[in-house]
């Protein structure tokens, strides 16, 4: 996470960004709120965030993809190369998602 | 040599992988048949007639009466994966290569009765992409064009625009069938409502329709099935297969001649299983890697001078009395 973003987020509301101090010891957490779509996969495949975090996906492939949650909580339009999609997670839980064009592509956002 | 180029682009599996049942009585063994099929891509047209494998060289520049289909026979063309709207390095000008494919169709010695487009007409389901595709294909010398959607054609609106433009008289998500000179053609849709972690999908409603559609047909009716995603499992890691294809094929088991034509994977692959001949076509836009040959199935960048040897179209010839339809792939390379 860039320093500028961190300051910006802190100014608005503590807890809306990933702060390692807010997590319990022993949690395995990927410190990011960006998912890169590359080579027909979501990376990192599993991202853990706190409630209120906005997660952004960016497509780095030459082929369009979608970000579609299994539960229909969120669904992007087709993302062409370098297109982005964001969703803010307002409640805790595990959100499985996939690409509706290439359903072998799956990922997970865990909200704590 | 032209021949060399063609053999390079083929991935013919070891015959013991896929030719489980050689029920034919044509005297051609498995290995021999596969060799013949490999050669089909060199521009030879193979037909099986009275048990004798016959060939002739496909040469669009030397049209003659002898090349015209026999009485009652006919030919049609399959094109696939035009991806109008794609502009990345693998092919910055997909309109130009589609135009070249159309020129090849229009130069065939016998104009095809119709064209089948097996999906991914567009890259992003944009109206202007569909417009361009439609206008270009109007310049083909073919009576009619039939379409099934690829996953790129049903984005953002569950395929409504595609069906409004290209599937007016279809059922459900765009499936349909028609008869032509005694052959029953079935267009299927396997790019909708895909499940996380899964492959292509036909769905229960379409399967029920299919079972009913073929119920009244005699076993001797030649069947041609076409759909975007392969109806046989080529490489599941890349999603190259259809989850419920086996169910669909079970309805076709009793027929003596079934030809399955697919796209999606932007390369020629084929398999013979019993009476079913599976075949995938090249794209007119960009090639994709052979199964597992790259980290992902994304567009394959090749040197500019090689691109057209990996793009092309498929011509299918039906001769009454012959068990198998002759399926011939030709690339955009060469004269």
Q: Where are the domains of chain A?
A: 3-111
In angstroms, the separation between the Cα of residue B157 and the nearest Cα of chain A is 9
Interchain proximity B155–A106, CB inside 8 Å: no
Predicted local distance difference test score (pLDDT) of residue B183: 96
Q: How remote is the C-alpha of B119 from its chain's centroid?
A: 10
b/e string for B198-235 if b means 16 or more Cβ within 10 A?
bbbbbbeebbebbeebbeebeeebbbbbbbbbbbbebb
pLDDT above 80: residue B47: no
Furthest C-alpha separation in chain A = 40
Of A13-27, B142-156, B284-298, the poorest mean pLDDT is in: A13-27
Q: Which residue of B has its CA nearest to A76?
A: B156
Distance set, CA B161 to CA B80, B121, B166, B189 (Å): 19, 12, 8, 15
Which residues in chain B have Cβ-Cβ distances shorter than 8 Å to A101?
151-152, 155, 194
Superfamily, domain B2-331: Metallo-dependent phosphatases (3.60.21.10)
What is d(CA B115, CA B105) in angstroms, rounded to the nearest whole number?
A: 9
Contact flag A106-B196 (C-beta cutoff 8 Å)? yes
Look at residue B279 and tell me whether its pLDDT is greater than 80: yes
pLDDT at position B175? 98
> A3-111 — its CATH code?
2.60.40.420
User: Which of B123, B124, B196 faces A96 most closely, judged by CB atoms?
Assistant: B196
The ipTM value here is 0.80
Res A32: pLDDT: 80
Q: What is the pLDDT of residue B2?
A: 37
pTM of the model: 0.81
Q: What percent of chain B is predicted at pLDDT more than 90?
A: 76
Instruction: Tell me how close the Cα of B242 comes to any Cα of chain A, in angstroms.
Output: 12
pLDDT one-digit tens code per residue, A72-105: 999 999 999 999 999 999 999 999 999 999 999 9
Q: Is the pLDDT of residue B51 over 80?
A: no
Report helix, strand or coil for B150.
coil
Calculate the CA A28 to chain-centre distance. Answer: 16
The string of DSSP codes covering B160-219 is HHHHHHH-TT-BTTTBEEEEETTEEEEE---BSSPPTT--BB--HHHHHHHHHHHHTS-T
Q: By percentage, how much of chain B surpasses pLDDT 70?
A: 79
Cβ distance B155 to A97 less than 8 Å, yes or no, reads: no
Identify the residue with better confidence: B322 or B137: B137
* Distance between CA atoms of residues B232 and B156, nearest Å: 27
pLDDT-based confidence at residue A4 (cuts at 50, 70, 90):
very low
Answer yes or no: is pLDDT of A15 > 80: no
Considering only the beta carbons, identify the residue of B90, B152, B195 that sits closest to A62. Answer: B90
CB contact under 8 A, B196 and A97: yes
A101 close to B200: Cβ distance less than 8 angstroms? no
- pLDDT of A13 strictly over 90: no
**Arithmetic mean of pLDDT, B120-128:** 98
* pLDDT average, residue stretch B296-305: 97
C-alpha torsion sign, points B278, B283, B136, B228: positive
Q: What is the pLDDT of residue B321?
A: 84
Domain boundaries, chain B: 2-331
- Report the pLDDT value the prediction gives residue B282, as an integer from 0 to 100: 98
Mutate which of A62, A71, A75, A107 to disrupt the B interface (most B C-beta within 10 Å)? Answer: A62
Partner residue opposite A78 with nearest CB, options B89, B155, B237: B155
Task: List residues in chain A touching B: CB distance below 8 A.
Answer: 39-41, 61-64, 66, 70, 77-78, 80-81, 96-98, 100-104, 106
Of the pLDDT bands very low, low, confident and very high (cuts 50, 70, 90), residue B55 is very low
What pLDDT, in 10s, does the model give residues B244-256? 999 999 999 999 9
pLDDT tens profile B60-83: 443 343 444 445 799 999 999 999
pLDDT at B322: 85
Residue range B184-235, pLDDT digits in tens = 999 999 999 999 999 999 999 999 999 999 999 999 999 999 999 999 999 9
Q: Which of B46, B204, B79 lies closest to B150, judged by CA? A: B79
């Amino acid at each position: 996470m860039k320093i500028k973003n961190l300051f910006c987020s802190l100014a608005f509301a503590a807890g809306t960004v990933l702060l390692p101090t807010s997590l319990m010891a022993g949690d395995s957490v990927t410190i990011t709120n960006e998912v890169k779509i590359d080579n027909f996969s979501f990376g990192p495949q599993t991202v853990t965030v706190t409630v209120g975090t906005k997660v952004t996906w960016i497509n780095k492939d030459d082929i369009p993809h979608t970000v579609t949650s299994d539960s229909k909580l969120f669904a992007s339009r087709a993302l062409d190369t370098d297109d982005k999609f964001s969703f803010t997670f307002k409640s805790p839980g595990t959100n499985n998602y996939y690409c509706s064009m290439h359903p072998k592509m799956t990922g997970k956002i865990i909200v704590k | 040599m032209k021949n060399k180029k063609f053999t390079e682009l083929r991935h013919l599996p070891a015959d013991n992988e896929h030719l489980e049942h050689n029920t034919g009585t044509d005297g051609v063994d498995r290995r021999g048949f596969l060799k013949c099929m490999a050669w089909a891509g060199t521009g030879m047209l193979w037909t099986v007639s009275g048990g004798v494998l016959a060939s002739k060289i496909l040469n669009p520049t030397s049209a003659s009466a002898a090349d015209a289909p026999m009485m009652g026979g006919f030919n049609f063309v399959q094109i696939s994966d035009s991806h109008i709207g794609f502009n990345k390095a693998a092919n910055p000008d997909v309109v130009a290569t589609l135009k070249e494919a159309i020129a090849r169709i229009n130069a065939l010695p016998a104009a095809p009765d119709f064209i089948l487009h097996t999906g991914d007409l567009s890259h992003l389901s944009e109206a202007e992409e569909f417009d361009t595709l439609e206008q270009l294909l109007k310049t083909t010398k073919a009576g009619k064009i039939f379409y099934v959607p690829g996953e790129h054609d049903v984005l953002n609106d569950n395929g409504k625009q595609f069906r409004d433009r290209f599937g007016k008289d279809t059922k459900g998500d765009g499936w349909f069938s028609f008869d032509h000179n005694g052959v029953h053609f079935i267009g299927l849709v396997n790019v909708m409502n895909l499940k996380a972690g899964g492959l292509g999908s036909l769905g229960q409603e379409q399967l029920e329709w299919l079972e009913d559609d073929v119920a009244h047909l005699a076993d001797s009716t030649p069947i041609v099935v076409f759909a975007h995603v392969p109806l046989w499992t080529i490489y599941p890691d890349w999603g190259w297969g259809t989850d419920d294809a086996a169910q669909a094929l079970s309805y076709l088991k009793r027929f003596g001649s079934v030809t399955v034509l697919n796209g999606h994977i932007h390369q020629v692959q084929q398999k013979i299983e019993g009476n079913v001949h599976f075949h995938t076509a090249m794209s007119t836009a960009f090639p994709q890697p052979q199964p597992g040959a790259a980290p992902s199935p994304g567009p394959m960048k090749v040197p500019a001078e090689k691109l057209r040897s990996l793009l092309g179209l498929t011509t299918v010839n039906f001769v009454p009395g012959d068990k198998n339809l002759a399926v011939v792939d030709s690339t955009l390379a060469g004269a």
